[in-house]
Amino acid sequence: MVGLKLFRTDTAKSGVTEVAPRLAVVEADVQGFVEAHMETLLGVRFLASEYGTGPVHGGRIDSLGLDENGSPVIVEYKRGVDAGVINQGLFYLSWLVDHRAEFERLVRDQLGSTVASQVLWSGPRLICVAGDFTRYDVHAVREHRRSIDLVRYRFFGSDLVGLETVASVSGGTLAPRRARRQTVVRAEADPRGASMAELAHAVDEALLGLGDGVNRIQRKQYRAYQRLRNFACVCPPQRSKLLVYLKVDLKEVDLVPGFTRDVTRLGHHGTGDLEVQLRTLRDVERAQDLFRASYAAA
């Protein structure tokens, strides 16, 4: 974001005008904007603002929310650079893990009993939104075993906002490199003879390999692949196919019967309105451009 330059075209004069980036006047401006549009910006349903942690703990969490996979989320904001934002967030995250029942009551009051019963406590998240971060912040995040996202913001002019994920770390584990090489060899040897397990592994490797900061979240009904937001959800293998749901602009996709379909109005597990049906390892190769498009949009 620091190196990003934004220009507005002037068709009347056949020229361009640079839109200068700026920080918020006060921290509350950032918090208010994100909370008003949290689901669109972060993929998190807003629950509460300035949530008190009681007289003993003596703190106030900037924002509480629930992400697309049911994981509890704490969002902390800083107008500029602040070395304490990560430690402050982790302080509140520890409180949250120790007060699960209280959080679930909040979810039940805001979103209903069904959602509250499905809260996923295996990966509570901390999202820090700030004007910038130092290399020490990025290093510190990578040393923790918590799920932490560092998000840099900038306002451009009066009507544009930019968000950039500086670092994203999950408490989950990545697939081993050795297994990946074995899958590639089998795919080249017999692209139509792969088992469903091999197919699922190939998809896992393809999605994890799209770039840095891809987190994998396991739910009972699906496995989500997440940058800041979900960009792919993979359902458990069926007898003859594997279903992947992606978040892409359906206007940009040529639907192919038996391979891709629009499920905007159809119920399904996970998030995303494009269903990709994979039956062979060759199908995984066919889907690579769709995987990249969904990753880029997340």
What tens digit of pLDDT does each residue of 150-168 get? 999 999 988 899 999 999 9
Stated pTM of the model: 0.82
How confident is the model at residue 257, as a pLDDT? Answer: 96
Helices H, strands E: what count in the chain? 11, 15
**Tens digit of pLDDT for each residue in 55-95?**
888 899 999 999 999 999 999 999 999 989 999 999 999 99
For 30, residues 6+ apart whose C-beta sits below 8 A from its C-beta are: 24, 77, 78, 79, 129, 153
CA pair distance 275, 245, nearest whole angstrom: 5
Contact 144, 169 (CB under 8 A): yes
CA pair distance 226, 223, nearest whole angstrom: 10
Q: Please list the ranges in the chain whose pLDDT falls under 50.
A: 1, 173-191
- Beta-bridge partners for 225: 216, 232
- What ranges do the domains of the chain cover? 22-169, 177-297
Q: Which CATH architecture has domain 22-169?
A: 3-Layer(aba) Sandwich (3.40)
Q: How many residues does the chain have?
A: 298
How confident is the model at residue 180, as a pLDDT? Answer: 42
